[in-house]
Amino acid sequence: MTEPAAFNAYKPAEIAALVETAGVAKARLPLPQMFVLAMLAGAFIGFGAAAYTTAMTGADTASGPVRVLGGAVFSLGLILVVVGGAELFTGNVLMVIAAVDRKIRLRRLWRSWAIVYAGNLAGAAGLAAAFAFTGLLDGSAGATAARIAEAKSALSPVEAFLRGALCNGLVCLAVWLSFAARTAVGKILAVLWPITAFVLLGLEHSVANMFFFPQGWAAGADVSLHAAAANLFWVTLGNIAGGAGGVAFAYWFAYLGRTAPAAGKAQRKR
C-alpha cells in the first residue's frame, strides 16, 4: 500500500529548509555539469516560449481567455525544469536563502548565477537558432514571433524592471510550491498556476526573453541588439529583486531567521 505521507505536502517551514539545502547543493555543482544543466533549462524554457508563440498565432492576444491558454502552454518550460531537473537562473534566485543563512558564500552565489545565466542564454538562443531553420517561422507564426520581440523591446526601463520583479515573484513561488509536493503530478500542478498567471498578466521573464528575441530576429523583427540587451538587463535586475527580496528573503525571515518559529529551525537541523 502507498503510504499516506507520500501525498502530504511539506509544510512551509519544511519547504524553507528544503530550499536552503537545495541552494547549497546547487552552489557546489561542478562547473561543467552546472553549465550543461543550465543549457537544458534555457532550452526547456525556449520550448515553452515557442509553444506560447504558436498558441498566440491567429488569436487576439489581448483576450484574457487566450492569454490563459498561452500561459498554460508556456508552463511546459518550468515543468520540464522542475520535474526533469535543470538549472534555471530565475528559480536559482532562491539560493539567496542559503546565502543569507551563511551556508554558501556570496562568491559562490555570484559564480553560480553567472554560469547558470550564461548557460540559460546558450540553451535558449541555441534553440531559437534551430527553430530558424525549421521553416516554422516562415508564415503567421513568424509574424507573431516578430510582434512579441518588438513589444518587449518597446518597454521602458521602469516597465521592464517592475514586470521582471513581479514575474519572478510568481516564478519563485512556483518553484517554492513545487518543493511542497512529493509527487511529479503535485509538482506539475504547483507550477502550472503561478506560471499561467505571470503570462496572463504580461510580465517579463529574462530567460524566456533570451529565446523570444533571437526567435523574433529569425522572423524579421525590427529590434536592435542594443534594445534587446537593454530589456534583458532591466528584466534580469527585476527578476533578482522580485525573487530574492519578495520571496527568498521574506521566507527566510519568516521560517529560518533568528525570530523564526522553532519548528522551522528544527527541520533545518535534520
Provide block-wise average pLDDT over 10 residues at a time, the chain (270 residues). Answer: 65 94 96 98 98 92 88 97 97 96 94 98 97 91 96 98 98 97 95 97 97 97 97 98 94 82 52
Q: What is the pLDDT of residue 139?
A: 87
Q: What is the pLDDT of residue 257?
A: 81
Contact 163, 136 (CB under 8 A): no
Rounded CA gap, 256 and 265, in Å?
A: 6
Q: Coil, helix or strand for 218?
A: helix
Residue identified by cell 531559437 is 128
Length of the chain: 270
Residue identified by cell 559562490 is 108
Contact 123, 38 (CB under 8 A): yes
- Within 10 Å of residue 15's Cβ, how many Cβ atoms? 21
Contact 253, 260 (CB under 8 A): yes
What one-character-per-residue DSSP string does 235-253 give? HHHHHHIIIIIIIIIHHHH
Q: What is the pLDDT of residue 259?
A: 59
| 216-to-17, 66, 147, 196 alpha-carbon distances in Å | 41, 21, 8, 22
Write phi, then psi, for 53 (nearest 5 degrees). Answer: -60, -45
Which strand (E) or helix (H) includes residue 142? Answer: helix 140-153
Q: What angle do CA 198, 155, 119 make, to 5 degrees?
A: 65
Rounded CA gap, 180 and 185, in Å?
A: 12
Q: What is the pLDDT of residue 1?
A: 46
Buried b (16+ CB within 10 A) or exposed e, 91-108: bbbbbbbbbbbebbeeeb
Q: What is the pLDDT of residue 265?
A: 53
Residue identified by cell 550564461 is 118
Q: Give me the sign of the Cα torsion angle 93, 97, 99, 104.
A: negative
- Within 10 Å of residue 2's Cβ, how many Cβ atoms? 6
β strands within the chain, DSSP E: none
For residue 54, the one-letter residue type is T
Burial label, 75 (beta-carbon count in 10 A; 0-12, 13-18, 19+): buried
Residue ranges of domains in the chain, CATH in brackets: 12-256 (1.20.1080.10)
